[in-house]
Amino acid sequence: MIERLCIIGVGLIGGSLARALRQAGAVGEIVGCNRSAESLARAKELGVIDRAETDPSEAVKDADVVVLAVPMGAMEGVFERMAPSLKPGAVVTDAGSTKGHVVTVARNAFGEIPPFLVPGHPIAGTEQSGVEAAFPELYRDRRVILTPVTETDREAVALVRWTWEQAGAQVEEMNVEHHDEVLAATSHLPHMLAYCLVDALARMEESKEIFRFAAGGFRDFTRIASSDPRMWHDICFANRTQLLKMLERFGDDLERLGEAIKSDDSGAVMDIFQRAKTARDRYRQIDPGSPE
């Protein structure tokens, strides 16, 4: 059991982990930390946390495990504030979507990459945000990627792995660079496309008419554009190198599709659509729990 767990950022991600671990009987006291005292009061009212602190340096005192579930732009500041207060033997992990950024800002804050830091990323979430959206089943049968570096202590990795497994997750390890490349393609790029499409349509003169007649395909494709803008703004810049590569590659593919339509190349268009359908169907076989 984790005697004292500190979660900095008690929203959907952090709150769901707290709920899952409490349900599993894997944690004693849960200390929550947010900048907003109001949101912390709500988290306590809902039974997500036992104690609330607005200062990270106070929140992490005597904690056995600390989980950072804050926007990427806030990571370095939180690391700096909590560093002097961590007890010996404490393990720190995070839920950030870009691991290269986390490793860099941790080095800046601590002066080195501390052995007790285990960078992590749960591949789970919804378009909702806030502690009210948290639920204990969020991580059940979902993947969590840990990206330990050379300096990372293996016992710390084992404890973080165990923590996520208690929440029902399937834990895998990956190196930092590969993680950021994969997530730029499978998560960051789709969010950029959804935001951009909805913004483009909203700025059209006929936007009210367009949204009025939008069907299920539009709803499904653009659902993630309801995600927290601040969080995705930070991810966009934290993983800019890999994201720009994917945007350029997708732009080239989109241009080829446009040229095929313009030149009446029916075969090329059908090839693109058929390859996409085959790949999507194969993905559904690999991950049958994913949405249709």
- pLDDT, one tens digit for every residue, the chain (292 residues): 899 999 999 999 999 999 999 999 999 999 999 989 999 999 999 999 999 999 999 999 999 999 999 999 999 999 999 999 999 999 999 999 999 999 999 999 999 999 999 999 999 888 788 899 999 999 999 999 999 999 999 999 999 999 999 999 999 999 999 999 999 999 999 999 999 999 988 888 676 777 777 777 888 888 889 888 988 999 999 999 999 999 999 999 999 999 999 999 999 999 999 999 999 888 877 664 444 4
Residues 198 and 56 in one domain: no
Contact 21, 168 (CB under 8 A): no
The CA distance from 207 to 192, in Å, is 20
Residues 20 and 134 in one domain: yes
Task: Assess if residue 291 is contained within a domain.
Answer: no
The most distant pair of C-alpha atoms in the chain lies apart, rounded to whole Å, by 67
What does pTM read for this prediction? 0.84
Task: Assess if residue 273 is contained within a domain.
Answer: yes
Structure confidence at residue 284 (pLDDT): 75
User: Smallest Cα–Cα separation from 55: which of 75, 83, 35, 80?
Assistant: 35
Residues 101 and 215 in one domain: no
Task: Assess if residue 292 is contained within a domain.
Answer: no
Residue 240, domain CATH: 1.10.3660.10
Amino acid (1-letter code) at residue 183:
L
For residue 66, give the 3-state DSSP assignment.
strand
Domain coverage including residue 265: 178-286
Total of domains in the chain: 2
Structure confidence at residue 151 (pLDDT): 96
